[in-house]
Amino acid sequence: MIDIKLIRENPKLVKENIKKKFQKEKLPLVDKISKLDVEWRKKKFELDSLKADRNKVSAAINTAKKEKKPLKPLIEKAKSIPKKIDKLQGDVDKLQVELVQLLSQIPNIIEEKVPIGPDDSHNKQREKHGEIPKFSFTPKHHIALGEALGQLDFENSAKTSGKGFYYLKNDLALLNQALIQHSIKKMVSEGFTYIETPLMLRQKVINNVTDLHDQENQIYKIEGEDLYLIGTSEHSLIGRFIDTILQEEQLPILNASYSMCFRKETGAHGITEKGLYRTHQFNKVEMIVICKPEESKKYFEKLKKITVDIFKDLKVPTRVLEMCSGDLGELKHKQVDVEAYSPITKEYYEVGSCSNLTSAQARKLGIRTINKKGEKYTPHTLNNTAIATSRAIVAIMETHQQKDGSIKIPKALQAYMMDKKVISVKN
């Protein structure tokens, strides 16, 4: 959510940003917000003036009592003020709610260098890492590999849970844990505090970390309770600071977490086939940063590099793709996806996502910072998927497969797998 001061001081900039996001239908909202803001400030001034009058009258009554002066006119005036205050307070609160609802629809100001385009076809490749694998045989899909190894079971998960779930067994299950442990170690070595979060959140938090589209198409609701299953631990990590005032010396806050994640996936993509690529339940290691505004660019680069380095450790070829203006979420100032190469489709697919939300997310959550001078400001927040293990498993299986159907275990993970070097039927 952008700062309303930006609409007060530079509505032209806000409108130009909306045009860059290809959301021209939202342009009238800027003028509507400006009009409501004027009305809100007028009512707020009247309310503050009435409260000041109430205090003055109370002081005058105390003085009149001491000096034994007539009290009736003052008492009558004091009685009339509370009703006026209640009426104005109701008007102010109603306008405030309406303003917040409208402001939530205005996209965050995008970075100047973000590529301009209406959809993902305008996203730009910024970096490329690793060598594309070459095979002397026809490489197999991860499903065929996993089922042949007897370590990936979709048949029984379909019976117990339905489409979009899976059983990992033996070395593939250990590989999943190795990826988690390797990523956590990387996070901690980079100065992140490791935290295990709740897997359910209240609606107040969900409303401020997701948009309506995601709530309808991604988030599972617990029936009969004010709780939702998390789609990512990033929501729990940043939600922990809702309505919090942080001391500036606490910044930067660098938190990382592993969690099981849950998504309905009922949007455009959906669950169309079996496999590990898109599922209802999966494992992720996430990072969030809360920092001073002038430091968010630096931490964006740090977060991105961590994910790139993890996949370098796995010897998986990747690229960094920058999202264009039309493909950016409403809260995002800048976003890049880290994508792995598939030797099966000969295309890249998302394995990580890094975003700078500047002050938009913190403002929506009510996160504030106070400096040594007692001045308050809104900090910047960032988030990053260090690794989604199911997609990393796909990348490892398909990139490091051998002619006999076995899978070479990346050296970086072998210590977490009792020094095994290969996943095979024998194992």
Domain residues of the chain, as ranges?
Answer: 4-103, 120-423
Whether pLDDT at 395 is above 90: yes
By C-alpha distance, which of 322, 332, 425 is closest to 381? 332
- Kindly indicate the confidence band of residue 272, based on its pLDDT and cuts at 50, 70 and 90: low
Contacting residues for 354 by C-beta, under 8 A, at least 6 apart: 300, 303, 304, 307, 335, 336, 337, 338, 382, 383, 384, 385
Higher pLDDT, 82 or 239: 239
What pTM was estimated for this model as a whole?
0.89
% of the chain with per-residue pLDDT over 90: 81
Query: From CA 160, how far away is CA 27, in angstroms rounded?
Result: 49
pLDDT greater than 80 at residue 213: no
Distance CA 380, CA 378 (A): 7
Q: Find how far residue 182's CA is from the centre of its chain.
A: 23
Q: Please state which CATH class domain 120-423 belongs to.
A: alpha beta
Provide CATH code, domain 4-103.
Answer: 1.10.287.40
pLDDT tens profile 148-198? 999 999 999 999 999 899 999 999 999 999 999 999 999 999 999 999 999
**Where residue 269 falls among pLDDT bands split at 50, 70, 90?**
low
Quickly count: other Cβ atoms within 10 Å of residue 316's Cβ. Answer: 22
pLDDT band at 271 (very low <50, low <70, confident <90, very high): low
Contact in structure between 246 and 368 (CB atoms under 8 Å)? yes
Query: Which SS3 state, helix, strand or coil, does residue 341 take?
Result: strand
258 beta partners:
285
CA distances from 225 to 269, 281, 365, 383 (A): 28, 21, 22, 28
pLDDT of residue 17: 96
pLDDT score, position 377: 96
Radius of gyration (C-alpha) of the chain in whole angstroms: 27
What pLDDT score was predicted for residue 82?
Answer: 82
The total of other beta-carbon atoms located within 10 Å of residue 140's CB is 17
Interhelix angle 11-20/27-67, rounded to 10 degrees, is: 140
Residue with tokens 């039309």: 326
Q: What is the mean pLDDT of residues 91-110?
A: 93
Half-sphere exposure of 388 (CA within 13 A, CB side): 28
> Higher-confidence residue: 64 or 402?
402
pLDDT digits (tens, 9 = 90+) for 104-160: 999 999 999 999 999 999 999 999 999 999 999 999 999 999 999 999 999 999 999
CA-nearest of 141, 73, 20 to 393 is: 141
Phi-psi region of 344 (alpha: psi -120 to 50; beta: other; left: phi over 0): alpha
